[in-house]
């Protein structure tokens, strides 16, 4: 079996067709030989019956006269009712083995005597004096020779036909697999040249065309994935370079600079380290989302609690600013309804959206998070009255490391927050959209599907881990939460 697996598909299919052809033609040969043998047996038996017919007629007309002697080449014996042989041209080998002949039989009989095989027919003629028996025989040597020659002819002819069938199969299978070989060569050429070309797709609507189309989609996906990875590495290297340079400079100042400014230097280094930590955590979060791990469902109540914690964390971040952060929740929502997105991931999404909104307000304004259960979806709105987003930047807002020109070059954000939000929504087949408000500000709409799978609290707790504790949430039973971070 291992040796067979090493053969090419063409060779294996050809061997299979040869085997089937050999079995088929062998069966045909056997049937033909049996049919010819049967025809020859029946013909010989009719000849034997014809040899006995004159004697039957003579006995019926003259019971005491068995008729003339048999003709030349006829092997016939006529036995009277008393058991005496009146006429016989049977060879001695048959005469000495008369006991092996069934005199009461009516069909053809085979008798091997004297090294030869004979076909024997027995006819009984009833008369008033008793029953006469006529035995006719025929040597089967000629028939055996005919069958031998027929078998040899069938073997040679059908063997040659099987080989011809195998050769034709080899050519046809080669022609059928030729497009696959061309696809392989084209793929090798694409890999060797590192071009942007795709595999050729023929005009025929067959399996080869479907294969080429599927492989082209795979090539496109792989190229896009490789491009994203290269861009991610490039952007990450660019984003990491700045805080690392700042951190290195601050450490050098701590070692060689003015000791009186040590507090400010340590604070600057701490900020650079915090930025590095946030960037690395964001990259890890994107990596986990890109891995495509099936999400753990939770309940509406768990998401509401997590939303409360996110609001509290946002208020802490905006504590020194004049920013009001409110949460509006459904009054009579089914808190036990299962939701596809894990609570911890939902909290991270809200953290990113609220952090972006706080930064956009620049110290003064209002942010409102609204949760609405609209089966089969849970919809979350995050709105603010800030300056909004440049309309030209909106199509690129969810791209990784993408930031508006007015934000680039500052220490605010890394351009990964909205990318994480988009990846989190996609991981549960949800959607997220951005829209500038009519007057001022930004409206973010996050839609999460309601699922039929009930949450597993144990699995959710294990995934959250002991180090993922969040800030205390407000009472989730109240219809709304209001307040400000001042």
Model confidence at 368, pLDDT cuts 50, 70, 90, reads: very high
On whether residue 268 sits in a domain, the answer given is: yes
Which two structure tokens, joined as six digits, stand for 402? 């993408």
On whether residue 420 sits in a domain, the answer given is: yes
CATH assignment of the domain containing 93: 3.30.450
Distance of CA 86 to the CA centre of its chain: 85
Instruction: Report which of 116, 168, 165 is spatially closest to residue 142, judged by C-alpha positions.
Output: 116
pLDDT over 80 (residue 441): yes
How far apart are the C-alpha atoms of 206 and 470, rounded to whole Å? 57
Q: pLDDT value at position 258?
A: 64
What value, to the nearest 5°, has the Cα angle with vertex 287 and ends 285 and 290?
Answer: 110
Of 129, 145, 161, which one is at a domain's C-terminal end? 145
Exposed/middle/buried for 119, CB within 10 Å: 0-12, 13-18, 19+? buried
pLDDT over 80 (residue 102): yes
Of 116, 145, 174, which one is at a domain's C-terminal end? 145
pLDDT over 80 (residue 246): no
- The reply to whether 127 and 226 lie within a common domain is no
- The reply to whether 389 and 460 lie within a common domain is yes
Please, which residues bridge with residue 138 across strands?
119
How far apart are the C-alpha atoms of 333 and 431, rounded to whole Å? 21
How far apart are the C-alpha atoms of 426 and 420, rounded to whole Å? 10
- The reply to whether 14 and 89 lie within a common domain is yes
pLDDT over 90 (residue 367): yes
- The reply to whether 259 and 355 lie within a common domain is no
Q: pLDDT value at position 420?
A: 82
On whether residue 128 sits in a domain, the answer given is: yes
Least confident of 212-226, 410-424, 472-486: 472-486
Dihedral sign (CA 25, 27, 28, 34): positive
Helices and strands, number each (H, E), in the chain: 10, 13
Could you tell me the CA-to-CA distances from 215 to 126, 184, 222, 235, 362 in Å, in that order? Answer: 88, 11, 10, 30, 50
- The reply to whether 360 and 472 lie within a common domain is yes
- The reply to whether 471 and 366 lie within a common domain is yes
> DSSP labels for 199-242?
----SS-SHHHHHHHHHHHHHHHHHHHHHHHHHHHHHHHHHHHH
Which residues form the domain of 244?
Answer: 207-274
- The reply to whether 346 and 433 lie within a common domain is yes
Of 127, 145, 163, which one is at a domain's C-terminal end? 145
CB count in 10 Å sphere of residue 408: 12
> DSSP labels for 342-359?
-HHHHHHHHHHHHHHHHH
Could you tell me the CA-to-CA distances from 157 to 14, 94, 149, 218 in Å, in that order? Answer: 20, 38, 12, 50
The DSSP element (H or E) to which 85 belongs, if any, is strand 85-88
On whether residue 186 sits in a domain, the answer given is: no
Q: Are 485 and 469 in contact (CB under 8 A)?
A: no
Least confident of 23-27, 58-62, 270-274, 415-419: 270-274
The predicted model gives 159-187 an average pLDDT of: 86
On whether residue 321 sits in a domain, the answer given is: yes
Whether the predicted model's global pTM rises above the 0.75 cut: no
pLDDT over 80 (residue 388): yes
Q: pLDDT value at position 483?
A: 39
Could you tell me the CA-to-CA distances from 175 to 172, 229, 268, 316 in Å, in that order? Answer: 5, 40, 71, 72
Q: pLDDT value at position 383?
A: 95
On whether residue 192 sits in a domain, the answer given is: no
The predicted model gives 66-73 an average pLDDT of: 73
Main-chain dihedrals φ then ψ at residue 389, nearest 5 degrees: -120, 145
- The reply to whether 312 and 393 lie within a common domain is yes
Q: What letters, b where the CB count within 10 A reaches 16 and e where it falls short, cover 318-349?
A: beebebbbbbebbeebebebbbbbbbbbbbbb
Q: Are 165 and 21 in contact (CB under 8 A)?
A: yes
pLDDT over 90 (residue 433): yes
Least confident of 189-193, 235-239, 342-346: 235-239
Which two structure tokens, joined as six digits, stand for 175? 């022609």
How far apart are the C-alpha atoms of 80 and 135, rounded to whole Å? 12
Q: pLDDT value at position 474?
A: 34
Instruction: Report which of 22, 1, 23 is spatially closest to residue 166, judged by C-alpha positions.
Output: 22
CA torsion, ordered 237, 241, 247, 250, to nearest 10 deg:
170
pLDDT over 80 (residue 415): no
Radius of gyration of the chain (CA): 49
- The reply to whether 251 and 323 lie within a common domain is no
Q: pLDDT value at position 245?
A: 74
Q: How far apart are the first and last CA of the chain?
A: 78
Helix 457-464 × helix 343-361 angle, to 10°: 50
Model confidence at 476, pLDDT cuts 50, 70, 90, reads: very low
CATH assignment of the domain containing 472: 3.30.565.10
- The reply to whether 311 and 259 lie within a common domain is no
- Range among 64-68, 118-122, 206-210, 395-399 with highest mean pLDDT value: 118-122
- The reply to whether 441 and 351 lie within a common domain is yes
On whether residue 338 sits in a domain, the answer given is: yes
Dihedral sign (CA 246, 249, 251, 253): negative
How far apart are the C-alpha atoms of 199 and 180, rounded to whole Å? 11
- Domains in the chain: how many in total? 3
How far apart are the C-alpha atoms of 443 and 392, rounded to whole Å? 16
On whether residue 196 sits in a domain, the answer given is: no
The predicted model gives 422-437 an average pLDDT of: 90
Which two structure tokens, joined as six digits, stand for 61? 């007309």
- The reply to whether 345 and 439 lie within a common domain is yes
Between 40 and 270, where is the model more confident?
A: 40
pLDDT over 80 (residue 71): no
Instruction: Write the CB contacts of 382 (distance below 8 Å, at least 6 apart in sequence).
Output: 350, 353, 354, 357, 367, 368, 369, 370, 443, 444, 446
Least confident of 178-182, 246-250, 368-372, 464-468: 464-468
pLDDT over 80 (residue 453): no
> Helix, strand, coil proportions of the chain in percent (round to 5)?
55, 15, 30
Which two structure tokens, joined as six digits, stand for 255? 């070692």
The predicted model gives 66-94 an average pLDDT of: 83
pLDDT over 90 (residue 446): yes
């Amino acid at each position: 079996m291992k040796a067979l697996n090493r053969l090419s598909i063409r060779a294996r299919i050809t061997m299979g067709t040869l085997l089937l052809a050999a079995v088929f033609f062998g069966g045909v040969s056997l049937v033909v030989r049996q049919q010819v043998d049967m025809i020859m047996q029946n013909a010989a038996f009719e000849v034997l019956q014809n040899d006995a017919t004159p004697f039957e007629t003579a006995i019926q007309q003259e019971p005491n006269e068995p008729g003339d002697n048999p003709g030349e080449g006829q092997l016939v014996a006529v036995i009277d009712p008393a058991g005496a042989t009146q006429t016989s041209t049977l060879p001695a080998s048959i005469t000495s083995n008369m006991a092996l002949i069934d005199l009461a039989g009516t069909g053809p009989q085979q008798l091997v005597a004297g090294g030869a095989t004979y076909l024997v027919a027995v006819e009984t003629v009833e008369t008033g004096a008793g029953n006469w028996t006529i035995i006719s025989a025929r040597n089967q040597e000629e028939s055996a020779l005919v069958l031998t020659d027929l078998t040899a002819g069938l073997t040679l002819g059908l063997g040659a036909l099987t080989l011809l069938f195998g050769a034709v199969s080899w050519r046809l299978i080669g022609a059928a697999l030729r497009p696959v070989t061309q696809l392989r060569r084209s793929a090798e050429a694409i890999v060797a040249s590192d071009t942007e070309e795709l595999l050729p797709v023929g005009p025929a609507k067959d399996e080869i065309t479907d294969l080429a189309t599927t492989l082209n989609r795979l090539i496109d996906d792989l190229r896009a994935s490789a491009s994203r990875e290269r861009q991610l590495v490039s952007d990450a290297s660019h984003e990491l370079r700045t805080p690392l340079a700042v951190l290195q400079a601050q450490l050098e100042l701590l070692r060689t600079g003015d000791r009186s400014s040590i507090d400010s230097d340590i604070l600057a280094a701490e900020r650079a380290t915090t930025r590095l930590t946030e960037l690395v955590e964001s990259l890890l979060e994107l990596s986990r989302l890109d891995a495509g791990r099936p999400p753990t469902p939770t309940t509406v109540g768990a998401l509401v609690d997590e939303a409360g914690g996110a609001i509290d964390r946002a208020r802490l971040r905006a504590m020194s600013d004049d920013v009001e952060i409110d949460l509006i929740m459904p009054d009579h929502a089914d808190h036990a309804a299962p939701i596809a997105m894990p609570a911890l991931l939902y909290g991270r999404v809200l953290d990113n959206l609220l952090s972006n909104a706080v930064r956009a307000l620049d110290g003064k304004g209002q942010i409102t998070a609204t949760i609405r259960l609209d089966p089969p979806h849970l919809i979350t709105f995050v709105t603010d009255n800030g300056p909004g987003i440049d309309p030209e930047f909106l199509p690129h807002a969810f791209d990784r490391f993408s930031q508006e020109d007015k934000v680039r070059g500052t220490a605010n954000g890394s351009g990964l927050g909205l990318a994480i939000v988009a990846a989190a929504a996609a991981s549960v087949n949800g959607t997220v959209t951005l829209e500038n408000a009519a007057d001022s500000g930004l409206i973010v709409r996050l839609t999460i599907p309601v699922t039929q799978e009930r949450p597993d609290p144990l699995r959710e707790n294990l995934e959250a881990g002991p180090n993922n504790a969040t800030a205390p949430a407000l009472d989730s039973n109240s219809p709304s939460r209001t307040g400000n971070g001042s």
